[in-house]
Amino acid sequence: MGKTLGLVRAYYTVALACTGSFLFAYDTGIIGGVLTFQSFQDSFRYSNEQKSSINSNSNSLLQAGAFFSCFFVWPFTYKYGRRWSIALASLIFCVGAIIQVAPTHSIAAFYVARVISGIGVGMATVMVPMFTSEMAPKSIRGRLGSFFQGFFTLGVFFSYWIDYAVEKHVPATSDKQWQIPIGLQLVPGGILGIGMLFLKESVRWLAKKGRHEEAMESLVWIRGGEATEEVRAEMAEILEGIQAENNATEGVTWREVLRVPANLHRMCIAVTIQIGVQITGNTSLAYYAPQIFQAVGAGDNSLFISGFFGVAKVISCWFFLLFLVERIGRRWSLVVGAFMMGLLMLIVGILAKVYPPDPDATGVSSAGIASIIMVYFEAMCYNMSWGPVPWLYMSEIFPARIREFGIATGTATQWLFNFVFSQATPHALDSMGWGMFLMFCLFNWALVGYAWFFIKETAGKSLEEMEEVFNSNVALFHKDGPKEHVEAAQDKQ
């Protein structure tokens, strides 16, 4: 019963925390459709010539807020913990969503609201992978860590269909057409913030702060409510791993990132793997799916086709995280995924070049259908590789002492390049056309070599065992070593 209850609590805890990923994705998906609505343009009173700039700014300002939030959330979570950081992120996001949905008729006010929401989203994208990796059992950490991308795909899925529903059923003369999809962000935002108040704090954060009794209580709760020998051994491993880090790096602050080669190696991976996520081209597909489907020949059906694009993402990602992630590991999923995405991008580019879409066509051509199917397959490959794995990988490779800083830096990199590609994509579509897909093909094939040479396999390893994986000179824990802290905590249970 204890193990079953522990699994239920682990899945519940991670699923609730990953509502933060759902928020990130819902906003990513909803804004692309909302910006195509005539009702939005009429409400905020801008001309057709301003469309491309407003599209870019609406996305990039959210990303700018998210980028800068990554740096102040690091010291906040270091001092106050993971739960309060995620709850605060939810509150900030909801404030931004309320301002966005208000009928201000001011694009400047909308821009400010996007920055505020971005701060909340950015905080959540730092904290959620950190919290879930620190609470998940190592045997299913890959599966639970991949929930971040799984909930991302659900957010995109709902956003596409809600955009499609309001386009079809709400008059284009009504502000409600764009207010409904944006306002619905408040539902998952509220669930995340309120739900986090009733969860336990991260075991490893409590242990790192010397609050060993509370750490043991939290671990016993998340593992099913029984202080079994297995739970005691896990607590011993956590405490000894933290003690080994503290002994090896005593008195050293952030400089130990440069001082310890293994830490510098991990920091470089966190930065480069998040750059890799962006250069796959899938951020561009997520933000501008309707526009991209129009570019490959979808015509007036772009929002409907974008809805099924979301379905393909959900099916592929959840299949991967439920059945594959613990079997094929991190490294091979990145290698194979990058190769397949490059191949599919190449096919889309060739089809767009040889059979350019007819802007006056009333239906979708055979070449257009083929291109759409290839884009679907490309997104499915992404959601079984470079979608879920980098977030999981980044959350598990750092030692506890620099985990906040490492994940914040990697996440900030993601938002910085997210900003770059969201700014560039509308203009690239206008100027490069089919050449944009060729560019992403080459980027993806470059990532094959990157994953092959630089990614180490971490499947099945505990967070403390990452020191051995990365050949760190920090003393490793000893499973049969002293357990004074654990026993002291247990005596007070």
Q: Which domains does the chain have, with CATH numbers?
A: 2-199+249-462 (1.20.1250.20)
List helix spans (H) across 18-138: 19-34, 38-44, 51-80, 82-101, 107-135
Angle of helix 107-135 versus helix 147-169 axis, rounded to 10 = 150
For 384-422, what is each residue's pLDDT tens digit?
999 999 999 998 898 877 888 889 899 999 888 888 877
Residues whose CB is less than 8 angstroms from the CB of residue 8 and which lie 6 or more positions away in sequence, other chains included: none
Instruction: Name which of 368-372, 437-441, 473-477 the model is least confident about.
Output: 473-477
pLDDT above 90 covers a percentage of the chain that reads 46
**pLDDT confidence band for 473 (50 / 70 / 90):** low
Q: Please, are residues 28 and 163 in contact by the beta-carbon 8 Å criterion?
A: no
Tell me the whole-structure pTM to 2 decimals.
Answer: 0.81
**pLDDT confidence band for 352 (50 / 70 / 90):** confident
pLDDT of residue 21: 92
DSSP string, 263-293: HHHHHHHHHHHHHHHHHTSHHHHHHTHHHHH
pLDDT above 70 covers a percentage of the chain that reads 88
**What mean pLDDT is reported for the chain?**
85
Per-residue pLDDT, averaged over 317-346, amounts to: 92
For 157-186, what is each residue's pLDDT tens digit?
898 889 889 988 999 999 999 999 999 999
Angle of helix 107-135 versus helix 82-101 axis, rounded to 10 = 160
For 255-280, what is each residue's pLDDT tens digit?
666 677 888 889 999 999 999 999 99
3-state helix/strand/coil string of 380-436: HHHCCCCCCHHHHHHHHCCCHHHHHHHHHHHHHHHHHHHHHHHHHHHHHHHHCCCHH
**pLDDT confidence band for 141 (50 / 70 / 90):** confident
Please give the structure tokens belonging to residue 152.
Answer: 């991302």
**pLDDT confidence band for 296 (50 / 70 / 90):** low
Please give the structure tokens belonging to residue 312.
Answer: 């393909």
DSSP string, 31-50: HHHHTT-HHHHHHHT--GGG
